[in-house]
Structure 1
Amino acid sequence: MNRRTVLITGATQGLGRGIALHLAAQGHTVLLHGRDRARLDAVVAEIRATVPDAPVRTYLADLSDLDQVRAMAAGVREREPRLDALVNNAVAGGGSDPLRREVSRQGHELRFTVNHLAPYALTRDLLPLLTASAPARVVNVASIGQEAVDFDDVMLEHGYEGLRAYCRSKLAMIMATFELAAELAGTAVTVNALHPAHLMDTEGVRAYGLTPVTGVEEGVRPTVRLITDPALQSTTGRYFDQFTDARAHEQAYDGAARRRLMELTRALVGESVRQ
C-alpha cells in the first residue's frame, strides 16, 4: 500500500476525526490539527487504542488567527519530511447565535477567515513541502451551501447572518480551489473541493439548530476517496458533491470574480509580503 502522510485540520471532532481514524486504520501517517490540546490528545489516544503503533503527530493552532496559521505551517515544514495530502476541513458553521457577527484576531469576519482565508494561507505556506512530496493532493472540504460573494460587503458588515456568512465563505473556498489548481497545473499537486455529505451529525450542525440527517461516515468515504484513490491522481480543479463531479455556484466560474477574490485574499493574508 502507498502509505501517505496526511494533515487534517479540525481533526478533533466530526468529519475530521472520522477521516483521521479511517486513515490511521489504513496505515497512513496522520497529522492532526486542533485548537484544544485535550481534544487532540483524546483523538490520539482513540487512534492508538485500535492501532497501537499508528504514526500520529499533532499541531495546535486557532485558525481564526492568521499568525497562528503561519506558525503551524512553519512547524509542519520544519518537522515533517514529506506531506502527501492536506485536508482543509476545519470549519466555522452558522453559529449558535447566528445574528451575532464575530471577527478574527486580525479583524476579518470570522467565517470568511476560518473557512477561506486560513485554508488558503495554510495551503500556500505548505506548497513547498507538498510540491517536494509530489504527487500530492489538497482537499478542501466545502459545502453544497453556497452563496455569491458580495464584493461591496465581503465581511458582511450589513445584514449579518451566520449561515449566509458560512455559505459565502464556502463558495470563496471553492473559487480559490479552482484558481490554485490552475496555478499548480503541471506540478503534480492537485487541488479539489467537495461537499462531503448533507447535514452530518456534527457539533456545528446541531449548534445552528439543524437536525442531522446523515452520519459522519457518509462524509468520510468521499473525502478519503479524494485523498487516496489512485484513479484521481491527476484530477484537479474540480468540485464534487460526495462522489459526483458536480457544478458549483455560478460565481465560481466567473473569471473576473475569481480574480477579484484572489486579489483580496492575497492582500488579507499578506501573501505578497511573505513571498
Structure 2
Amino acid sequence: MNRHTTLITGATQGLGRGIALGLAARGGTVLLHGRDSTRLDAVAAEVRATAPAAAVRTYLADLADLDQVHAMADQVRAAEPRLDALVNNAVAGGGSEPLRRELSRQGYELRFAVNHLAPHALTRDLLPLLTTSAPARVVNVASIGQDAIDFDDVMLEQDYEGLRAYCRSKLALIMASFELAAELDGTGVTVNTLHPAHLMDTDGVREYGLTPATSIDEGVRPTVRLITDPELESTTGRYFDQFTDARAHEQAYDIEARQRLMELTRSLTGSPELGS
C-alpha cells in the first residue's frame, strides 16, 4: 500500500478528514480536496504532522460549481501520475434552514448538485487516470437515508425540504454507482457505495438539529475497508451498510429509473458515456 494514491473530496472536516488521516497512516499518498483554502491547508498540515511518511497534496474547488469540478479534474490529471482510489465524500446536508431551497452555480438544486452531479462529473473526468492506474476503486459515500426520485420534479421545486433533498440525492448517487460499475466491468476499476455510520458526530448532523449517535471513527473504518481491503479488489456495483453488503432503496434496482437518471445526469453535466 506504500504507493497507494487516493483522492478524498470533502477532506477538511468530519468523515473526509478521518479517512485522510487513516489512509496517511498507511504511508500512501493522499490528495485532499476542500472548498476553503485555510481549512484545506490546516488539514494538510495535520496529516503531514501525524503521518510524516505520507505524501500530501491539496486541490481547491467548490463542488457546487461544475466548472470548478471539471477544472479540478484537469489539475489532478495534469499533476498526478496515478490514482488508485477516488472517494466521493463531500456532502451538502439537510441544512440549518431546511425549508430554504438553495441552488448550485449552474442553477440546480444544491443537494442534487453537490451530492450527485459533482461526484458523477469528477469521476467521469478522472476515468482516464483511474483506468490507467487499474486496479483502482471508486468509493461513493452515500447514506441509509434514501428517498425515491420524482422524475416530474427532480429539482424539488415543489414542497421543498432539505433532508428530503439530501435523501433523494444520496439515492441518485447510489443509482449512478450501480450504472457506472456495470459500464466499467472488465476495466479493473470498481465502483461501490456505502452508508458509513448512523448519525456521525459531524457539523452537518448538528447543523440540521439532529443529535449525533456515533463517532466519526465508526464511519472511517468501513470506508477505508472499501478503499484498501485486498479481498474486495474485484467487488463492484454493491451498496454496503457499514461492513455489510446490503440492499439499497428499491428504486436503485429499477433499470428504467436508472437510465432516466443517467440521461438527465449526462445532459446536466456534459459527461459522455465511456468510449464516447
TM-score by length of 1: 0.98
The corresponding residue for 2:32 is 32
How many pairs were matched up?
275
Question: Could you list the runs of 5+ residues in structure 2 that have no partner in the other structure?
Answer: none
Q: How far apart are 1:51 and its partner, in Å? A: 2.0
AA in 1 matched with 2:239: Y
For residues 119-268 of structure 1, the aligned pairs below 5 Å read: 119-268=119-268
Q: Deviations over 1:103-141 (max 9, x none)?
A: 000000000000000000000000000000000000000
AA in 2 matched with 1:217: D
For residues 79-158 of structure 1, the aligned pairs below 5 Å read: 79-158=79-158
Q: Deviations over 1:170-203 (max 9, x none)?
A: 0000000000000000001000000000000000
Q: What SS does the aligned partner of 1:137 have? A: strand
* Separation (CA, whole Å) in 2 of partners of 1:123 and 1:155: 22
The corresponding residue for 1:67 is 67
Of 265-274 and 169-178, the range deviating more from structure 2: 265-274
AA in 2 matched with 1:107: G
AA in 2 matched with 1:232: L
Q: What SS does the aligned partner of 1:271 have? A: coil
AA in 2 matched with 1:167: C
Q: How far apart are 1:48 and its partner, in Å? A: 1.7
* Separation (CA, whole Å) in 2 of partners of 1:3 and 1:54: 9
Q: Deviations over 1:236-269 (max 9, x none)?
A: 0000000000000000000000000000000000
Does the CA contact (< 8 Å) of 2:27 and 2:53 recur in 1? no
What value does the CA root-mean-square deviation take over the aligned residues? 1.2
Q: How far apart are 1:3 and its partner, in Å? A: 3.2
Does the CA contact (< 8 Å) of 2:144 and 2:241 recur in 1? yes
Does the CA contact (< 8 Å) of 2:200 and 2:213 recur in 1? yes
TM-score by length of 2: 0.98
* Separation (CA, whole Å) in 2 of partners of 1:90 and 1:50: 22
Does the CA contact (< 8 Å) of 2:199 and 2:211 recur in 1? yes
* Separation (CA, whole Å) in 2 of partners of 1:114 and 1:184: 23
Distance 1:190 1:74, change over 3 A: same
* Separation (CA, whole Å) in 1 of partners of 2:161 and 2:35: 24
Q: Deviations over 1:38-80 (max 9, x none)?
A: 1011111111222234200000000000000000000000000
The corresponding residue for 1:41 is 41
Q: Deviations over 1:67-94 (max 9, x none)?
A: 0000000000000000000000000000
